[in-house]
Amino acid sequence: MSFAKASLKMSAGALFVVLPGLALADQTFEIAVADPARKARRVPVELRPFPEEILRSCKIGYGRPMAVVAPVSGRLTLDVADGRSVKAGDVIARYDTDALERRAEETRLDLDYVKARLDYRTGAYQENTRAIQSLDEAEKAATRDYLAAQFAEMKRLYGQGRLALGRYQEAQRKLDEADAALERERRENALARQESGLEVIRLTHDVRKRENALAEVEAKLDKAVVRAQGAGRLVDVETTTAADGKLTVDEGDRLALLVDPGQLGARLQFNDAEMRLVRNADVTVTPEVDGKPRSAEISAFRPLENPAERARGALSTEVEVAFRDPAGPALLNQSATCRFTKPSVREEPAVPVSAVVIKDDQTFVRKDEGEEPELIRVELGDISDDYIRVLSGLNPGDFVLD
C-alpha cells in the first residue's frame, strides 16, 4: 500500500493521515503518524506477522441451499409455490403415473400366477405324483417278487426232472421282464423327480424375476412423488406455462431450492493465486446496511469450466460462504464485503504507525543510529495492530524514533 497523495489533518495534538484504497476502492483508513511536537522514543524495527487478506464485494443470498431435483424424466405437477415452508417428507411434486401403475398391476398378477404354479408344484402336485410313483413301483416290485417265487419253484422241479424245459424257460423270461419293468419304473420315477425339481427351480427363478420387476416399478412409483429432504423454505421454484400446469423434466433437473431462512451466504470467484489464500482462511461477511461483520465459513468449492481460461492455464473457482443471522431474509440481496483473512507464514519488518513521517506526499521514518537521527524514505505496506509493514528502507534490528 502506498502513502502517496495521503491527506493530513490534526486532531487533539496528534497527526493523522487518511489512506485511500487500503482495502476497497470506496473505503479510507485513518491512522496516526509521527507528531514532531511529541517527545520521541527509540524503538526497534521488529519482525511481526501480518495477516494476508482478500476483500470482495458480494451480494447476500441464502447459504447452503439444497437443490430439489427430478429423480426421473417425465411430466410432473408441482404442489408447492415459491416461499412455501415445508417439513421433511412433504410432497413437492407428483409425476404422471398411469402407465407405471398399469405396469405394476400387470406384474403383480403375473407374479401371483407364477407363485401359484410354484406352490402347486411343490405342494399337491409333488405329493400326489410321488404317491402314484410309489404305488406303481410297489406294484411292479410285488409282481417281480411273485414271479421270482414261481421261478424258484419251477427251477426246483426242473432240477428233479419233473418240469419240462419249455415251462422252465418261460418262467425265466417272465421274471426277467418283471425285473426290467421294475428297473424301468424306478428310473422313470427318478427322472420325473429330477424334471420336477428343475421345474421348481425354473418357477422359483421366474418368481424372483417378477418380484424384481415389481420392485423396480414400485421404486419408480415411489420416485414419482418428490419429497422434501428436510425442513425449510422452498425458493426459486420452477414454473410452467403449459395449459395443463405440468412440467416436462429430465432426470436431475432442478425443481426448487430448499433453504434455511436463517442461513445466509454469498458466492464469489477467485483465480488460482487467490485460492491459495482463500482455502482455510477466516471469513467474515459485513453487510453495508449495518456495517457489522458476521463470522462465516466456506461451505463449498466449485471449479468453473472456462475453455479460454483452461487454454491459458488459468482456472477459476467459485466459493460459497455461509453464516447464520437472526435477521435472516431481511439481509437478502443486500450488498456486503466478504473478507478472507489468513495469517502470514512469514514475519515482516514493521514499525509503529506513529513512527511514520509524511513529507511532500512521501513516507519517511527517523532512523536512529546513535548520532543525529536521519530522515530516510521508506516504502510501506499494510497495517496490523498499530504496526505498519516496511517493504524497503529498513532492516530488522534498525532503530527509529517514534
Q: Is pTM, for the whole model, over 0.85?
A: no
3-state SS, residue 397 = coil
How far apart (Å, rounded) are the C-alpha atoms in residues 90 and 256? Answer: 14
Residue 7 confidence (pLDDT): 32
pLDDT of residue 69: 92
How confident is the model at residue 74, as a pLDDT?
83
C-alpha cell at 361: 506526499
C-alpha span between 144 and 180 (Å, rounded): 9
- Would you state the pLDDT for residue 308? 66
How many angstroms separate the CA atoms of 177 and 170, rounded? 11
pLDDT, averaged per 10 consecutive residues of the chain (402 residues), comes to: 33 38 40 58 87 88 91 86 91 86 92 94 91 93 94 91 90 93 94 93 95 91 86 89 83 92 93 86 93 93 75 80 89 94 79 89 88 88 84 90 86
Residue 14: predicted pLDDT: 38
Class of domain 42-50+346-401: mainly beta
Where do the structural domains in the chain lie, given as residue ranges?
A: 42-50+346-401, 56-65+261-342, 68-96+225-258, 100-223
Question: What is the widest separation between alpha-carbon atoms in the chain?
Answer: 161
| Other beta carbons less than 10 A from residue 228's beta carbon | 21
Give the burial class of 285: count Cβ atoms within 10 A of its Cβ; 0-12 exposed, 13-18 middle, 19 or more buried: buried
- CA dist 178 and 157 (Å) reads 21
What CATH fold (topology level) applies to the domain 56-65+261-342? Answer: Elongation Factor Tu (Ef-tu); domain 3 (2.40.30)
DSSP 325: -
CATH placement of domain 68-96+225-258 = 2.40.50.100
